Amino acid sequence: MEGTVDGDRVAFKSGSSDFKGAVKGDHIELQWSVNLPWESPKPPKEEPGRSAIGPAPDGSDPSIDVTWDVPSSVSVVLRRVGR
C-alpha cells in the first residue's frame, strides 16, 4: 500500500482502489475510485428501419441491459467508534 498525508488531506492506494479525502474532526471523508481492468460494454447503435420485435441482427440478447454505468467513484466516511 502506498499513500500520502498533507495536513488534513490523505490519499492512498490499496490493490486496484484509490482513496482520496480529508480528516474532518472525528471522521475521515474519502472518495473511493476503483480502476477496473475492463470497460463496460456499449449498447449497439439503433439500426434505421429495424423492426421493434424479433431477434437482434447482430445476435445480441436485447433482454440484457448494458446501458448502466459504473460510477467513477463512491463516497466513504470512516468514523471513530467508542467502546
- The pLDDT of residue 42: 67
DSSP structure string for 2-45: EEEEETTEEEEEETTEEEEEEEETTEEEEEEEE--SS-PPPPPP
- The pLDDT of residue 43: 64
Q: What is the pTM of this model?
A: 0.56
- The pLDDT of residue 1: 65
- The pLDDT of residue 4: 94
- The pLDDT of residue 19: 92
- The pLDDT of residue 28: 92
Q: Which residue ranges of the chain lie beneath pLDDT 70?
A: 1, 38-44, 50-57, 62-70
